[in-house]
Chain A
Amino acid sequence: MAPADTRTRIVWDYAPAPESADHVRLRSRYGLFIDGDFRDPVDGVRVDSINPATEEPVAEVAQAGEADLRAAIGAAREAQPRWAALDGLERGKYLFRIARLIQERARELAVVESMDGGKPVRESRDVDVPLAAAHFFHYAGWADKLSFGVGGRPATPLGVAAQIVPWNFPLLMAAWKLAPALACGNTAVLKPAETTPLTALLLAELCQEAELPAGVVQIVPGDGSVGAALVRRPGIDKVAFTGSTVVGKDIQAALAGRGVPLTLELGGKSANIVFEDAALDQAVEGIVNGIFFNQGHVCCAGSRLLVQESVADTVITKLWERMGRLRLGDPLDKNTDVGAINSAEQLARIRALVAAGEEEGASRRSVACELPDRGWWFEPTLFTEVAPAHRIAVEEIFGPVASVLTFRTQAEAIEKANNSTYGLAAGIWTDKGAKAFEVASALQAGVVWQNTYNHFDSSAAFGGYKESGFGREGGPAGLRPYLRVG
């Protein structure tokens, strides 16, 4: 633990503003969504999905076994030719319906997302759900224009897509996967993350409500072993995975020699670079958004803060002061900035890396906020005096932990930013346009934000360089991984 004198106290000056869960229509138990219906698992198991803020079960969920996966892939195979043969406009209209239904049930989806995953409802409401709807809306419009999105080439669907999504943006990542796959005429078997299956299952209900033909979408919850089994099964024509680099490498190796196209959106250790000519107050807000958004459970989180030496003290002082005002607690409270850590397992991982940071000699300070008695929590934490070789400067922590490194020149900033096996995202804070363009061009990262961070749009490609993966999601580039062209 950090010495007491480096900790500040949070003043709890807001009245609680909990979002009501009255309107949520959540069943007590969910089956697997296969061939248009929810069904009991054949050889899978039933588990509780836990609210990480209370450790209470939210609903009971079925996890798929091998026979269930076989059935899911079979249903997808069966449905695929008819789905692909539909007129593009008609296929698109189903996706437009889904987009509309997400908007209609936005409040409910946001509340369930926060209950199941622990993220602040302000984020679920303002980011996850609207972006999920936007993604379906965007790709709905592509369904009858596919060739225009791939350089004018003839384009046909691949077949059945196996898709695995993580627990940090459960509904949004499901939308990122399903919308382009379906628009292109593929059918899908989607595995949500073990700890956050509920909004994907609600999305399955929306598919029913939209009268999406049976078999076009299958939702098969499960843990990592279910995902590993899914990608190894015959009958799949495409794999798309978002998650850790370790698992991504395993999937890439598992597909060796099979000729199944793969898209990987993996981890990151993204640099957020603050130049001395930046508007520093704005930069501090951006740093906070970059690393504390969704408790830092963000693959592109700005976890490596690179600050120009001349302003480092000022930035750290302002940042620390701002961190002291972050409100940690009930994810369903609309004033909450930092919610619960998604799982006990993730909390243990964060704690281990933070301990490594202290052991290696970096200077730690954590906001002294009162953590709720139940649930999994971690205080917003800042490391200074971090060396580039420290584990906290190299490894993805995936938690509310920022590491500050400094630089003197622009060239040094670029070199340090690029000195990573990852290459997902980067931030640049400067008011000089020419400099921003030059630095953005030199950074080896799939997304570069100037004077903003963690900004996403359904029309803008997202994806990594190097070990952050390959393939893109969003915009026309997001069509390519789901099409056979030429």
Chain B
Amino acid sequence: MSRLAVRKTYKLYVGGAFVRSESGRYDRAADFNVPRASRKDVRDAVAAARKAAGPWAARTAYNRGQILYRAAEALESRAGEFGVPRAELDAAIDAFVHYAGWTDKLAPVLGGVNPVAAPFLSFSVPEPTGVVGLVAPDEPSLLGLVAELAPPLAAGNAVVAVLSEAAPLAGLDLGEVLGVSDVPAGVVNLLSGRRGELAPALAAHPGLNALVDAAGDAELATQLDRLAAESVTRVRHTAASATYADAVRDPLARLEAVTELKTAWHPVGA
């Protein structure tokens, strides 16, 4: 008797759990049923991210770096499970390694002691902005996501990502990798579905601090800009990363877009 294969049920990744869309809707992708997330799923994901953002930001940079490096390790070991070209997968792994190394470099590069003309120890430090929305490009479905996901995580943010609409499976598979990489629940939330429905809901959400848009759709970009303005959400539009070199081009710009600089003044002497 031939053995009947155990098929995979693809689910959204929200708050550390693998869940169906609350809407019950599905799309077909590569012979799989893929959940079509709703606006309500976006709100749930932002709520999960908000809850996770503070504790994630409070982790030490060293700890966050190790967790991102572990994501690279886990991705490497599961390389066979991703339906993307090996070169793309390698680039995604290397991008995690690159940004894992940024966690404890960001503060000295972007911040420092301010030589103020008064008896104070004044210093400026980058802090995560909080919750970052990410609109991933259609292609490449894995690297295009990882190139924009790793920087905000390295900077200490929680992320809600709208995955490639055309090819969502690699992104959903990545959720399963991150779920076993010590990434705390809610720090990464992954939604598959219609970009035109999910991205505006994400941009308009007042609980979002920053938005990274790599979809490459000019009309959508204008719409997202307008919605983000309602709560002064920081927006960065960027081209999809097709190679490792793209993914690490001006890494500092990617990190700056999801950080806030805090200046503290502490008295020196009486």
Contacts and interface: CB of A to CB of B under 8 A. Distances in A.
A452 B110 CA distance: 25
A265 to B, nearest CB: 11
Contacts of A264: 232
A256 B261 contact: no
Given A151-B252, A485-B253, A445 B228 contact: no
B165 to A, nearest CB: 21
Contacts of A238: none
Interface string A240-273: 0000010011101101110100001010000000
Interface in A452-486: 452, 455, 457, 459-463, 465-470, 472, 474-477, 480, 485-486
A460 B124 contact: yes
B231 interface: yes
A448 interface: yes
B217 to A, nearest CB: 11
Nearest to B250: A486
Interface in B212-245: 218, 221-223, 225-226, 228-232, 234, 237
A486 B114 contact: no
Contacts of A253: 225-226, 229-230
B114 A465 contact: no
Contact of B263 (A252, A421, A446, A467): A446
Residue among B112, B129, B225 with most chain A CB within 10 A:
B225
Contacts of B223: 256
Interface residues of A, number: 50
Contacts, number: 120
Interface string B240-259: 00000000011011001000
Contacts of B38: none
Interface stretch (A218-226, A314-322, A432-440): A432-440
A150 B253 CA distance: 10
A440 B209 contact: no
Given A256-B226, A470-B232, A459 B118 contact: no
Contact of B218 (A257, A455, A485): A257
A420 interface: no
B210 to A, nearest CB: 9
B222 A457 contact: no
A465 B115 CA distance: 23
A450 B225 contact: no
Contact of B124 (A436, A451, A477): A477
A38 interface: no
Interface string A354-365: 000000000000
B87 interface: no
A249 B230 contact: yes
B180 interface: no
A451 B264 CA distance: 11
Contacts of A480: 256
B66 interface: no
A470 B26 CA distance: 38
B17 interface: no
B3 interface: no
For the complex of A and B, the 9 pairs showing the least CB-CB separation, nearest first, are A257-B222, A486-B250, A256-B225, A252-B229, A253-B229, A460-B114, A457-B116, A256-B226, A467-B232
Given A252-B229, A450-B265, 19 more contacts: A134-B117, A249-B230, A253-B230, A257-B222, A433-B266, A440-B262, A446-B262, A447-B263, A448-B262, A452-B267, A460-B116, A460-B122, A461-B114, A461-B263, A465-B262, A477-B261, A485-B250, A485-B252, A486-B250
Interface of A: 134, 150-151, 153, 245, 248-250, 252-253, 255-257, 259, 264, 266, 421, 433, 436-437, 440, 445-452, 455, 457, 459-463, 465-470, 472, 474-477, 480, 485-486
18 contacts: A134-B117, A153-B252, A250-B229, A257-B221, A257-B225, A436-B266, A440-B262, A447-B263, A448-B263, A448-B264, A450-B265, A452-B265, A459-B115, A467-B231, A470-B232, A475-B114, A480-B256, A486-B252
